[in-house]
């Protein structure tokens, strides 16, 4: 049951300013005000001291309880999510499973102490010329953190998404700035977390949810002195502004932003000869998924010119033209997509049928072709267009393919479509693309990010604002931890892990 309020220090509270939901009849969402930002940040700070001192197993029980509560709300969440985002039922059910899976994964991560990376240098009192003291290093949660819900993942990257799950696991209270694209979904998930807080007797400020659009709330949250780190998934422009705010505070804090990526796919010559049509068809299928609204959407496909390039392109275009129009997440994303494909059309040749969607907020895929020299000289073609927009880059030679690789911006992923006989070229490309991406794939496509120990979802800027970290997978917990060393501590003062 939705009431359109914000969750602050354990209470659902309204505000003087409300915005009617675009997608849900008869509901308006209270827009948090600056006093409420202050209240939430103070409550999060007060919660930190208690929450961070809870044992690892107590926090694990709490995080598992959140997952159980989300399971209990299952169909209701799916129903609201469909209405707000236009995403299909199967996707939302899958995303809910991913969200509860992530929560349970982080609960199991902290059930063992490995993530604390404890290092113990025992005292060497007899060492000459100076004795060595006993030093024990562990990791502690940073403090209260802010998480921005992502427009494109109403569950897995929003209220109880990977950023929230990893921060709670690290011992950090979380304030979520909900995304206006799915305020109702966030509220339902917020209710599930509030139930878990009560059931597990955690401090009220352990999790809070503020809704609001127009930049005011987000800016105030990231600049609040009690906030110690920020997790974000969204636009490069917005993320960059928030990053700059975090770094120009009197006490600068880390900003973990996942921004833009075009996820290039290099189709190497022997793979092109052997599998042109399959690669073209599969690339199109990956591009069409979720109306292309994935951060790992493969927006650029490179191959050598010739007959096989044409076969590759024809297979992809056939599949793209056959794709049905799909609803996009928000009006502004829909507008940005159409502006983006108009921008591409100014420098590249559109090779799909050029027909646009008929229904409001819907889109159809758009494919473009350009020669590598034009691509190299046109920076606007290097930027992400969020949606099912793809560019074929036709290279004259392997050398030119390497030149394109050299000019790529930072990427979440780069894919090599290759046969064993392409190994020499792959080896030549690797030193270049290793500098450019967080994850490199051989064959396959980058959409469908596995949530696991070895996953890396981040990359050099603008893929993310800190290429040393990931927002997916168990390593994501490291973003919210800081090392802390204890020197010459008596056993009575050390925690059990040390
Ligand atoms: P967005 O405009 O960056 O907004 C994301 C969140 O950040 C919202 O909560 C927004 O708050 C806040 N925000 C943005 N700029 C801000 C600023 N200057 N000051 C304070 N808060 C700010 O992203 P979006 O709404 O999700 O989608 C817009 C575009 O982002 C898409 O068209 C796409 O290009 C990109 N996007 C990329 C990915 C990816 O994974 N690469 C994912 C999603 C979206 P308000 O609601 O208050 O504005």
Residue 387 CB–ligand 1 contact under 6 Å: no
Residue 219 CB–ligand 1 contact under 6 Å: yes
Q: What would the two tokens of residue 220 be?
A: 């105030």
| Residue 49 to residue 383: CA distance in whole angstroms | 43
Tell the residue nearest (CA) to atom 32 of ligand 1: 333
By C-alpha distance, which of 149, 295, 144 is closest to 217? Answer: 149
Residue to substitute in 32, 37, 151, 258 for testing ligand 1 pocket (most ligand atoms within 8 angstroms of CB): 151
Residue 179 CB–ligand 1 contact under 6 Å: yes
- Beta-bridge partner residues of 174: 145, 207
- Within 10 angstroms of residue 272's Cβ, the number of other Cβ atoms is 23
CA of 336, closest atom in ligand 1: 32
CA of 294, closest atom in ligand 1: 40
Q: CATH for 265-442?
A: 3.40.309.10
Residue 214 CB–ligand 1 contact under 6 Å: yes
Residue 41 CB–ligand 1 contact under 6 Å: no
398, HSE (Cβ side, Cα atoms, 13 Å): 12
Cα(179) to ligand 1 centroid in Å equals 8
Active site residues: 258, 295
Residue 148 CB–ligand 1 contact under 6 Å: yes
Contacts of 173 (CB under 8 A, 6+ apart): 44, 45, 47, 48, 51, 143, 144, 145, 203, 205, 206, 207, 208
| Residue 185 to residue 431: CA distance in whole angstroms | 43
Cα(1) to ligand 1 centroid in Å equals 27
Residue 240 CB–ligand 1 contact under 6 Å: no
pLDDT at 248: 98
| Residue 380 to residue 198: CA distance in whole angstroms | 50
pTM: 0.96
| Residue 105 to residue 309: CA distance in whole angstroms | 43
Cα(52) to ligand 1 centroid in Å equals 30
Cα(162) to ligand 1 centroid in Å equals 17
Cα(463) to ligand 1 centroid in Å equals 14
Q: 105-118 burial, b if ≥16 CB within 10 A, otherwise e?
A: bbbebbbeeebbee
Q: What would the two tokens of residue 331 be?
A: 């009006």
Cα(238) to ligand 1 centroid in Å equals 6
Cα(464) to ligand 1 centroid in Å equals 14
Tell the residue nearest (CA) to atom 9 of ligand 1: 179
Residue to substitute in 234, 387, 438, 447 for testing ligand 1 pocket (most ligand atoms within 8 angstroms of CB): 234
CA of 385, closest atom in ligand 1: 34
Residue 93 CB–ligand 1 contact under 6 Å: no
Q: What would the two tokens of residue 342 be?
A: 């108009």
Map tokens 């895929």 to a residue: 365
pLDDT at 66: 98
Which superfamily, per CATH, for 6-259+464-493? Aldehyde Dehydrogenase; Chain A, domain 1 (3.40.605.10)
Contacts of 480 (CB under 8 A, 6+ apart): 141, 142, 145, 166, 167, 170, 171, 172, 229
Residue 386 CB–ligand 1 contact under 6 Å: yes
Residue 457 CB–ligand 1 contact under 6 Å: no
Residue 338 CB–ligand 1 contact under 6 Å: no
CA of 245, closest atom in ligand 1: 19
- Give the residue range(s) of CATH 3.40.605.10 domains in the chain: 6-259+464-493
Cα(149) to ligand 1 centroid in Å equals 9
| Residue 361 to residue 340: CA distance in whole angstroms | 15
CA of 219, closest atom in ligand 1: 20
- Averaged pLDDT, groups of 10, the chain, 498 residues long: 96 95 91 98 98 97 98 96 95 97 98 98 97 98 98 97 98 98 97 98 98 95 98 97 98 97 98 98 97 97 97 98 96 97 98 96 98 98 97 98 98 98 98 98 96 97 98 98 98 95
Cα(234) to ligand 1 centroid in Å equals 4
């Amino acid at each position: 049951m939705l009431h359109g309020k914000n969750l602050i220090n354990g209470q659902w509270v309204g505000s003087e300013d409300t915005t009617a939901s675009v997608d849900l009849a008869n509901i308006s969402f209270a827009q948090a005000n600056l006093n409420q930002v202050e209240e939430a940040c103070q409550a999060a700070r007060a919660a930190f001291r208690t929450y961070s001192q809870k044992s690892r197993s107590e926090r694990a029980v709490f995080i598992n309880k959140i997952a159980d509560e989300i399971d209990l709300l299952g169909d209701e969440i799916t129903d609201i999510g469909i209405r707000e985002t236009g995403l299909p039922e199967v996707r939302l059910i899958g995303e809910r499973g991913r969200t509860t899976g992530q929560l349970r994964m982080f609960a199991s991560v902290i059930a063992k102490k490995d993530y604390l990376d404890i290092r113990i240098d025992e005292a060497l009192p007899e060492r000459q010329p100076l004795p060595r003291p006993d030093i024990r290093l562990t990791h502690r949660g940073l403090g209260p953190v802010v998480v921005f819900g992502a427009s494109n993942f109403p569950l897995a990257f929003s209220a109880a998404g990977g950023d929230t799950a990893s921060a709670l696991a690290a011992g950090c209270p979380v304030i979520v700035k909900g995304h206006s694209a799915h305020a109702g979904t966030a509220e339902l998930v917020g209710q599930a977390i509030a139930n878990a807080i009560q059931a597990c007797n955690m401090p009220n400020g352990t999790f809070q949810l503020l809704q609001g659009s127009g930049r005011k709330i987000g800016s105030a949250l990231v600049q609040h002195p009690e906030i110690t780190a920020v997790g974000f998934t969204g636009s490069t422009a917005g993320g960059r502004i928030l990053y700059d705010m975090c770094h120009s505070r009197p006490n600068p804090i880390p900003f973990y932003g996942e921004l833009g990526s075009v996820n290039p796919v290099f189709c190497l010559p022997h793979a092109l000869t052997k599998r042109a049509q399959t690669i073209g068809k599969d690339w199109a299928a990956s591009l069409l998924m979720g109306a292309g609204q994935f951060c790992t959407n493969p927006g650029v496909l490179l191959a050598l010119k010739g007959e096989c390039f044409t076969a590759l392109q024809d297979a992809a275009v056939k599949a793209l033209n056959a794709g049905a129009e799909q609803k996009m997440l928000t009006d502004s994303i829909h507008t940005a997509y159409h502006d983006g494909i108009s921008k591409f059309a100014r420098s590249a040749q559109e090779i799909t049928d050029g027909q646009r969607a008929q229904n409001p907020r819907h889109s159809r895929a758009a494919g473009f072709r350009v020669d590598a020299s034009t691509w190299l000289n046109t920076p606007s073609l290097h930027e992400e267009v969020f949606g099912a927009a793809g560019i074929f880059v036709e290279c004259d030679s392997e050398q030119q393919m390497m030149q394109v690789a050299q000019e790529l911006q930072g990427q979440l992923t780069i894919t090599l479509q290759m046969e064993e006989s392409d190994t020499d070229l792959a080896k030549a490309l690797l030193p270049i693309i290793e500098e450019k991406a967080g994850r490199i794939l051989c064959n396959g496509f980058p959409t469908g990010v596995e949530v696991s120990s070895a996953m890396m979802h981040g990359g050099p800027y603008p893929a993310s604002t800190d290429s040393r970290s990931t927002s997916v997978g168990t390593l994501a917990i490291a973003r919210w931890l800081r090392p802390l060393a204890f020197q010459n501590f008596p056993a009575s003062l050390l925690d059990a892990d040390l």
